[in-house]
């Protein structure tokens, strides 16, 4: 009986962990998915050496509320900002010609796509609309509640009404986070 309870508990924990995983795809896959089911895109631009990037994975992207919201309302893309992948985006091909494979988990050259998206810090979350058009980058680590503000701001298109800092401040002050920490 004890073994059955332990097995049931482990199965419950495993299914709960699995439910908290974000369905990561490439930018090309996300753009293709948008053709059938338009959703906005959130792209996590990270590097292998970045501590706050790892913290974002462990504390924010592993959060059940964050993962469920992103999986429901966005296509999620993970992109190594200093990696060596070839990216096809909007009829352009982006590479990292200065990539040095001997650098391993150390700083490397910035990918051309990273520069195209105006990313100059890691982590940066880049948002795109339902047509793959660039919305904006958000720099730095975000807690689940901080990210919730941006996820809902872009999901509802409320950002289009923000013509100045005062309007964003008003939205920020009125925002009541619902995600658990």
Q: pLDDT tens-digit profile of 28-71?
A: 999 999 999 999 999 999 999 999 999 999 999 999 999 999 99
Query: pLDDT band for position 105 (50/70/90)?
Result: confident
Helix (H, G, I), strand (E, B) or coil at 79: strand
pLDDT tens digit string along 111-166? 999 999 999 999 999 999 999 999 999 999 999 999 999 999 999 999 999 999 99
In a domain, 34, yes or no: yes
The domain tally of the chain equals 1
In a domain, 32, yes or no: yes
- DSSP H helices, 37-164, are 51-55, 64-73, 112-116, 144-155
User: Tell me, what's the pLDDT at 181?
Assistant: 76
In a domain, 9, yes or no: no
User: In this structure, how many other beta carbons lie within 10 angstroms of the beta carbon of residue 159?
Assistant: 17
- Domain of 54, in residue numbers: 21-174
Q: Is the pLDDT of residue 11 over 90?
A: no
In a domain, 4, yes or no: no
Nearest to 125 by CA among 40, 49, 28, 43: 43
State the Cα–Cα distance between residues 105 and 93, nearest whole angstrom. 25
- Flag the least confident range among 12-16, 86-90, 154-158, 175-179: 12-16
Query: pLDDT band for position 18 (50/70/90)?
Result: very low
User: In this structure, how many other beta carbons lie within 10 angstroms of the beta carbon of residue 152?
Assistant: 17
In a domain, 1, yes or no: no
Q: Is the pLDDT of residue 16 over 70?
A: no
User: Tell me, what's the pLDDT at 37?
Assistant: 96
CATH code of the domain covering residue 130: 3.40.30.10
User: In this structure, how many other beta carbons lie within 10 angstroms of the beta carbon of residue 9?
Assistant: 10
The helix (run of H) or strand (run of E) holding residue 43 is strand 40-46
In a domain, 40, yes or no: yes
Query: pLDDT band for position 19 (50/70/90)?
Result: very low
User: Tell me, what's the pLDDT at 64?
Assistant: 96
- How, if at all, do strands 124-128 and 40-46 pair? antiparallel
State the Cα–Cα distance between residues 179 and 63, nearest whole angstrom. 9
Of residues 103 and 86, which shows the higher confidence score?
86
In a domain, 143, yes or no: yes
């Amino acid at each position: 009986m004890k073994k059955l309870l332990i097995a049931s508990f482990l199965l419950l924990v495993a299914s709960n962990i699995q439910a908290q995983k974000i369905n990561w795809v490439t930018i090309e896959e996300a753009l293709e998915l948008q053709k059938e089911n338009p959703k906005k895109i959130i792209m996590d631009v990270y590097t292998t050496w970045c501590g706050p990037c790892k913290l974002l994975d462990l504390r924010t992207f592993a959060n059940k509320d964050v993962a469920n919201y992103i999986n429901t309302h966005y296509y999620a893309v993970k992109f190594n900002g200093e990696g060596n992948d070839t990216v096809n985006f909007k009829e352009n091909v982006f590479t990292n010609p200065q990539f040095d494979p001997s650098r391993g988990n150390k700083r490397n050259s910035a990918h051309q796509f990273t520069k195209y998206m105006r990313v100059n810090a890691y982590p940066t979350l880049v948002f795109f609309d339902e047509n793959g058009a660039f919305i904006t980058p958000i720099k730095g680590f975000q807690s689940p509640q901080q990210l919730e503000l941006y996820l809902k701001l872009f999901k509802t298109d409320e950002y289009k009404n923000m013509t100045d800092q005062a309007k964003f401040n008003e939205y920020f002050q009125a925002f009541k986070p619902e995600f658990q920490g």
